[in-house]
């Protein structure tokens, strides 16, 4: 082959590749992130594409920390599928020792993103591919995650430049999905247990469901409505979403032991408005008479997470934490009951007795752990209550000071007390009007003093019921709960309440006047 023939051959190849190269241009953000925000986490994809994730924080710090959450609803209808059930959740990653988190897709996976991974050639990035991918099986979704993870491994350098921790994508499990759908740590405990996450407007502003006032029987483009508190779009409605774990029935306080078909969450554009809620959970078969189950209204959303025992260091840390679980050392002045039982067990030669003692030890540790978790939740509740009382007493004091100033002005500067008895009752300086002002003043003082006493009582009770170090341990977690559930304005009051508790522990003095003054100062700083 001559030089010119080779030159023309490569020129022809270049021309034939031009269409493919033109597809591999960065996507317009409207196709994968129509509602960008500053805390978006971007994962790269093939074909110069992108996948947007959001951090879902959990109030946990150490690898073995987890948080109890109640999922499902309290409705007895379809209780075997959706009834309220205790679960536990934690996060896979941590930013410099802060609260742990996992990542979840900001949007449902689109047809464009699916094709960018699964097709042999790059798809044309256009708006008709910005719909959620549907009509795929659970096995297709799993195959997608595998192929995408293989690509991420081969393109690790692109991930690290975006400050994304090392991990992998998969389908969310039932607990992860519902925790995120309800709003996670961005909502209060009572809001978390509502049928749906907090909404300023009607459901049709947040979810595509069946009927003319919403989806009207059609799948919709991603991200066109309002998000939930975690900035997740279409978590309810549009396309139903497949879970990683199989469907399990409810058995009052736990899930039933039988694993079933595909767990599908969130409802779709074909779901009734009443069923478009956070607890709606249904089962679909892995296979039907056509083969692997597929549906025109079922798609998926991804999570980004990692394995647990990914290094020797973490294994050592887990072992240390596990050994400390339920040890009860802090409750015994003469040493841990658990450790004493372990000593006795080591001295016993009879194998049956040793086995029984080991089981007793495990039961004791489990009971201690449950007690510790209940104690920590009680401390967090006490700290939140103290913060609210500090804010409340400062508000009531402002009302009292206003009423006191008004009464003093009326009696000392405007009105002549000697003449008040002779004035008509409608006159602002009449005895009736002044007595009414005095009554309002006395009532505002009583209300303030009552809450101040209540505030002081909570300081004494909290300091008396819990050890100082256990209170300190929960202060950071409580601060995180307040700041992430839309109550950041309570943070300064919480810090002050925490300070008052420590002052009382050190001095043993109830200093209501000082506590009132400092609560007022916090209010003054916020004005």
Per-residue pLDDT at 19 exceeds 50: no
Q: Same structural domain for residues 401 and 465?
A: yes
For residue 339, the enclosing domain spans 322-370
Beta-bridge partners for 50? 44
Among 319, 342, 331, residue whose Cα is nearest residue 369: 331
Per-residue pLDDT at 8 exceeds 60: no
Q: Is residue 9 part of a domain?
A: no
* pLDDT given at position 20: 39
Among 27, 187, 42, residue whose Cα is nearest residue 103: 42
Per-residue pLDDT at 48 exceeds 90: yes
Tokens linked to 38: 């500053």
Q: Same structural domain for residues 342 and 429?
A: no
pLDDT winner (highest mean) among 99-113, 154-168, 337-351, 378-392: 99-113
Phi, psi (rounded to 5 degrees) for 61: -120, -45
Per-residue pLDDT at 329 exceeds 60: no
Between 334 and 50, where is the model more confident?
50
Q: Same structural domain for residues 350 and 393?
A: no
Distance CA 168, CA 421 (A): 82
Q: Same structural domain for residues 396 and 356?
A: no
Per-residue pLDDT at 359 exceeds 60: yes
* pLDDT given at position 440: 93
Overall average pLDDT of the 199-208 stretch: 95
Phi, psi (rounded to 5 degrees) for 291: 120, -145
Q: Which of these ranges, 89-103, 237-251, 314-328, has the smallest mean pLDDT?
A: 314-328
Q: Same structural domain for residues 221 and 356?
A: no
Q: Same structural domain for residues 349 and 379?
A: no
Q: Same structural domain for residues 404 and 465?
A: yes
Q: Is residue 6 part of a domain?
A: no
* pLDDT given at position 381: 87
* pLDDT given at position 14: 41
Distance CA 137, CA 293 (A): 5
pTM: 0.72
Q: Is residue 12 part of a domain?
A: no
Tokens linked to 355: 């086995």
Q: Same structural domain for residues 404 and 486?
A: yes
What is the pLDDT confidence band of residue 81, given thresholds at 50, 70 and 90?
Answer: confident
What is the pLDDT confidence band of residue 161, given thresholds at 50, 70 and 90?
Answer: low
Chosen domain end from 354, 370, 386: 370
Q: Same structural domain for residues 208 and 62?
A: yes
Tokens linked to 53: 């994730």
Report the run of H or E that residue 526 belongs to, with start and end.
helix 512-526
* pLDDT given at position 22: 38
Distance CA 50, CA 28 (A): 10
Sheet arrangement for strand 298-299: 281-284, 262-265, 240-246, 298-299
Distance CA 61, CA 478 (A): 12
Among 17, 98, 102, residue whose Cα is nearest residue 61: 98
Per-residue pLDDT at 10 exceeds 50: no
Q: How many CB atoms lie within 10 A of CB 282?
A: 18
Distance CA 396, CA 447 (A): 7
Answer whether 496's CB lies under 8 Å from 519's CB: yes
**Measured between alpha carbons, how far is residue 333 from residues 282, 328, 329, 336, 376 in Å?**
52, 10, 8, 8, 21
Per-residue pLDDT at 4 exceeds 90: no
Q: Is residue 503 part of a domain?
A: yes
Chosen domain end from 347, 370, 393: 370
Q: Same structural domain for residues 42 and 160?
A: yes
**Measured between alpha carbons, how far is residue 27 from residues 37, 51, 127, 196, 450 in Å?**
17, 11, 11, 33, 61
Strands 240-246 and 49-57: unpaired
CATH number of residue 297's parent domain: 3.90.1580.10
Phi, psi (rounded to 5 degrees) for 455: -60, -45
Per-residue pLDDT at 52 exceeds 90: yes
* pLDDT given at position 24: 56
Phi, psi (rounded to 5 degrees) for 333: -75, -20
Q: Is residue 335 part of a domain?
A: yes
3-class SS of residue 388 = helix
Report the run of H or E that residue 102 belongs to, with start and end.
strand 100-105
Q: Same structural domain for residues 399 and 471?
A: yes
Per-residue pLDDT at 1 exceeds 60: no
Overall average pLDDT of the 305-323 stretch: 85
Answer whether 54's CB lies under 8 Å from 106's CB: yes
Overall average pLDDT of the 300-328 stretch: 84
User: Could you identify the residue written with the tokens 């042999």?
Assistant: 120
What is the pLDDT confidence band of residue 319, given thresholds at 50, 70 and 90?
Answer: confident
* pLDDT given at position 274: 93
Per-residue pLDDT at 226 exceeds 90: yes
* pLDDT given at position 21: 39
Among 301, 289, 47, residue whose Cα is nearest residue 155: 47
* pLDDT given at position 315: 86
Answer whether 24's CB lies under 8 Å from 41's CB: no
Q: Is residue 433 part of a domain?
A: yes
How many structural domains are present in the chain?
3
Q: Over the stretch 473-505, which tens digit does the pLDDT of each residue have?
A: 888 888 888 888 777 678 889 889 989 988 888
Strands 262-265 and 281-284: antiparallel
Answer whether 226's CB lies under 8 Å from 201's CB: yes
Overall average pLDDT of the 299-312 stretch: 92
- For 411-447, b where at least 16 C-beta lie within 10 A, e where not — what string? beeebeeeebeebeeeeebbbebbeebeeebeebbeb
pLDDT winner (highest mean) among 40-54, 155-169, 300-314, 374-388: 40-54
Q: Which of these ranges, 97-111, 128-142, 220-234, has the smallest mean pLDDT?
A: 97-111
Q: Is residue 313 part of a domain?
A: no
* pLDDT given at position 328: 62
* Whole-angstrom Cα Rg for the chain: 31
Q: Same structural domain for residues 271 and 123?
A: yes
3-class SS of residue 196 = coil
Distance CA 25, CA 125 (A): 9
Q: How many CB atoms lie within 10 A of CB 117?
A: 21
Percent of the chain at pLDDT exceeding 90: 50
Overall average pLDDT of the 363-383 stretch: 82
Q: Is residue 15 part of a domain?
A: no
**Measured between alpha carbons, how far is residue 12 from residues 3, 9, 121 in Å?**
14, 5, 19
Report the run of H or E that residue 506 belongs to, with start and end.
helix 491-507
Residue 12 CA, distance from chain mean position = 55
């Amino acid at each position: 082959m001559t030089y010119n023939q080779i030159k023309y051959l490569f020129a022809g190849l270049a021309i034939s590749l031009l269409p493919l190269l033109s597809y591999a241009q960065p996507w317009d953000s409207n196709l994968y992130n129509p509602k960008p925000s500053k805390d978006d986490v971007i994962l790269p994809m093939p074909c110069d594409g992108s996948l947007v994730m959001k951090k879902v924080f959990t109030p946990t710090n150490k690898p073995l920390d987890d948080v109890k959450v109640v999922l499902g609803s309290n409705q007895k209808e379809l209780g075997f599928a959706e009834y309220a059930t205790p679960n536990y959740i934690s996060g896979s990653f941590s930013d410099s020792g802060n609260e742990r988190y996992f990542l979840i897709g900001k949007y449902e996976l689109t047809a464009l993103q699916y094709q960018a991974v699964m097709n042999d050639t790059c798809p044309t990035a256009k708006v008709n591919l910005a719909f959620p991918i549907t009509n795929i099986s659970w096995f297709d979704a799993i195959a997608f995650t595998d192929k995408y993870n293989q690509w991420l491994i081969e393109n690790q350098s692109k991930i690290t430049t975006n400050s994304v921790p090392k991990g992998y994508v998969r389908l969310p499990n039932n607990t992860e999905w519902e925790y995120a759908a309800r709003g996670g740590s961005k909502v209060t405990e009572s809001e978390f247990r509502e049928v749906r996450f907090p909404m300023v407007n009607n459901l049709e502003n947040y979810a595509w469901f069946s009927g003319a006032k919403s989806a009207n029987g059609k799948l919709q483009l991603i991200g066109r409505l309002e998000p939930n508190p975690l900035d997740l779009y279409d978590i309810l409605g549009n396309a139903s979403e497949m879970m990683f774990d199989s469907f399990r029935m409810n058995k009052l306080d736990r899930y039933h032991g039988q694993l079933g078909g595909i767990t599908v969450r969130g409802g779709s554009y074909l779901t009734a408005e009443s069923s478009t809620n956070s607890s709606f959970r249904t089962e679909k078969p892995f296979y039907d008479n056509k083969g692997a189950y597929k549906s025109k209204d079922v798609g998926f959303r991804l999570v980004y997470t990692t394995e647990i025992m990914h290094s020797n260091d973490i294994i050592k840390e887990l072992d240390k934490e596990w050994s400390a679980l339920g040890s009860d050392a802090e409750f015994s002045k003469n040493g841990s009951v658990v450790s004493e039982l372990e000593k006795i067990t080591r001295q016993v030669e009879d194998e049956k007795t040793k086995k029984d003692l080991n089981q007793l030890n495990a039961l004791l540790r489990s009971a201690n752990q449950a007690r510790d978790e209940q104690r920590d939740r009680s401390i967090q509740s006490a700290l939140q209550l103290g913060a609210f009382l500090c804010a409340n007493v400062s508000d009531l004091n402002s009302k009292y000071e206003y009423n006191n100033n008004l009464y003093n002005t009326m009696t000392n500067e405007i009105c002549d007390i000697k003449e008040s008895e002779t004035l008509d009752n409608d006159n602002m300086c009449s005895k009736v009007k002044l007595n009414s002002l005095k009554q309002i003043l006395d009532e505002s003082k009583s209300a303030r003093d009552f809450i101040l006493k209540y505030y002081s009582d909570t300081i004494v009770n909290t300091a008396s019921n819990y050890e100082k170090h256990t209170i300190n341990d929960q202060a950071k977690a409580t601060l995180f709960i307040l700041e992430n559930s839309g109550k950041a304005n309570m943070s300064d009051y919480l810090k002050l309440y925490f300070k008052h508790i420590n002052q009382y522990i050190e001095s043993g003095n109830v200093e209501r006047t000082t506590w009132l003054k400092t609560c007022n100062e916090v209010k003054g700083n916020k004005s």
